[in-house]
Structure 1
């Protein structure tokens, strides 16, 4: 009986052993996998955001804005989606935004074209003044253009005396600004071609009128009419007529004189009426007009004009072809500050009387250097004129 019970137990144990072993191995496997998972969680840090993902995260749409359905919000969301889904390419602009940009550019182009047509109509008279100059002068096809106001009218008188015998006056147009300068030029130089801006405005009110944008409008009107222009400053002394030396330069767009590491000399600029020159000055006027319309930018507009001009010329904006006039011949007020030995190395044709503050001081300097050509009564100093024009002959540069 005892043997039979023992035999039964052994039989049961033998039958259960494989099952127990299977369960044991299953338990070991589960324990091992759980341990590996916990180990990986401890060893592997949470993934960090890349710089680009951080940038995208900054522009994610807040949850409270997801229900907005207006077009602006949809466009913003579309840009964000494009950034996330296409990390290798630039952000896409919605069709509505692109269409709006094109429409704005189209409106600006129409506005500028209308303004250009208005410029041509407004200054048609000055174009009519200039056309006979080109037809009558066979030696050079350039119109000399300068601006005279109440402040610099005495300089204009001296310069006109200075250039009296240089065969220049027949190619000259003087644009006077205001009532006083018009009356002065009518009385003193009645034979010179003139065009008057604000003819009925007295001098005390002229300060309120922005002249610089109007200057550029006149230049644009002449260039669009196919008229070459030499823009000059009457606060200068001329030793010779430089125009014959420019006949070979008609392949260029502009002749300019850069003051060393400073700015372009706006007192002597030759502008040939090429397509590139016309486009260049139209762009320059557009930029300056924007500044003039901004009340915060109106002060110092002439300085801003010179700065813009220098920047566009330096970068050869629009592919303009320019020739730089030599500083030793077309120079500015720094010439007066040179030593005698340094001045001997120059051959001045035109010296602009600047780099000194105040009209009275500049007049005194011109008189000191015998670069002033009127007498006390306002008439021309004939002796000084004839002495001066013999100092430097016409030089081809």
Structure 2
């Protein structure tokens, strides 16, 4: 599948006019940007272009691209960390893009290592690991994965350390801001990103669904299935490399950077990425494809028998709506959704067996 960031042409203008009218999107779009949006292809960037950093974007780069319980060190009110993607990250992304046309991206630190190992055991039979890059924020997590399975695509992009934290606390929100910055740097070089988290069970390969929707900006799972006002999960979302996606994500990064700066200056509090992301999805006029609600579930699947009574086999179940890594692991084991041995060295099964 060629994730070229190109929507279908021909009836494109008519389709966009109708769709954006229904969505209430009235923002003016520069004609050059719209033309670029319709014609952007994944092209091989030169090594010089590849190493341009997001805070020093050149015009060359600009023209090419136009839940959850995590772990890190508790935030301190000091100067925010300036994130600059290293050459190892960018070269690994470019390599994976050449194989698949997109990258599956997952973030972790040492406190999340066993959850990540279980997920790797879960998906080993699905042929997604060659296209997955694991971005570790501390050296302990980096070496823990590299020494466990040397063939994995693992990159160290330092941020904080390996201390645990909980959903929506300040340190967690700072980690989400770090994740947004890294994803921004990848979208910036015209690479589509499938952002996933390891606190989930994959009972089938979701790429079979993602491949169907290469002509939209975003493919997402509703975190509040069954409601009219859907909210996308920030930890299971496909971001196509279109100009519309890039502009939206750039605004998300800028807004989170402002909030983070205010927090570090002692003039504000942190904020998570999901609320801001969903607000921008609504206001920026993106084309979004929702994954089937009877096959892609939030953690409500574990809590509501009526969801488990749906006759179709689930594809992915998120292990959210519960706080704490130990609690997530316990629930996964209870439902046979845990695939790592007690020694944490071996896989003990996967859905393909």
The two structures share one fold, judged by TM-score above 0.5 = yes
Alignment correspondent of 2:7 = none
SS in 2 for 1:266: strand
Tell me which of 55, 80, 101 is aligned to 1:115.
55
Give the equivalent residue in structure 1 for 2:278.
310
Paired residues of 2:111 and 2:163 also in contact (CA < 8 A): no
Residue 126 (str. 1) matches residue 89 (str. 2): yes
Q: For residues 275 and 214 of structure 2, what CA distance do their matches in structure 1 show?
A: 26
In 2, are the aligned partners of 1:146 and 1:232 still within 8 Å (CA)?
Answer: yes
After superposition, what is the alpha-carbon deviation per residue over 1:83-121, rounded to whole angstroms, capped at 9, x for unaligned? xxxxxxxxxxxxxxxxxxxxxxxxxxxxxx982529996
Count of matched residue pairs = 267
Structure 1 spans left out of the alignment, 5+ residues:
1-112, 391-397
**CA deviation after TM superposition for structure 1 residue 346, in Å:** 4.4
Question: 1:298 and 1:233 mapped to 2: Cα distance?
Answer: 28
CA contact (8 A) 1:152 1:235 kept: no
Distance 1:323 1:114 in 2: 28
Q: What is the root-mean-square deviation in Å for CA atoms of aligned residues?
A: 2.8
Q: 1:219 aligns with which of 183, 192, 196?
A: 183
1:330, distance to aligned residue in structure 2 (A):
1.6
The whole-number CA distance in structure 2 between the counterparts of 1:153 and 1:348 is: 25
Identify if the C-alpha distance between structure 1 residues 217 and 162 changes in structure 2 by more than 3 Å, giving closer, same or farther: same
Question: What's the offset of the Cα at 1:123?
Answer: 4.3
Residue 218 of structure 1: how far off its partner (Å): 1.3
CA distance 1:331–1:276, change in 2 (3 Å): same
1:292-333 deviation digits (Å, cap 9, x = unpaired)? 0012577553xx2111011112x2x33211111122222111
User: 1:136 aligns to what?
Assistant: 99
- Following TM superposition, by how much is the alpha carbon of 1:339 offset from its aligned partner in structure 2, in angstroms? 1.5
Q: Deviations over 1:342-393 (max 9, x none)?
A: 43344311111011122111111100100000111113344x31xx226xxx
Instruction: Pick closer, same or farther for the CA change 1:136–1:363 going to 2, 3 Å.
Output: same
The match for 2:174 among 210, 230, 234 is: 210
Q: Flag the structure with larger Rg.
A: 1
Partner of 1:228: 192
Which residue pairs with 1:47 in the alignment? none
Residue 163 of structure 1 deviates from its aligned partner by: 0.5
Q: 1:282 Cα deviation (Å)?
A: 0.4
More helix by share: 1
- CA deviations on 1:132-167 (whole Å, 9 max, x unpaired) are 112233xxx221001011221110000000001100
Q: Deviations over 1:225-258 (max 9, x none)?
A: 1111100011110011121332231110110122
Normalising by structure 1, we get a TM-score of 0.61
Measure the CA separation in 2 of the matches of 1:157 and 1:211: 20
**Secondary structure of 1:225 counterpart:** coil
Query: Which structure 2 residue ranges, 5 or more long, are not aligned?
Result: 1-52, 59-81, 166-170
Q: Which has the higher contact order (CA 8 A, sep 6+)?
A: 2
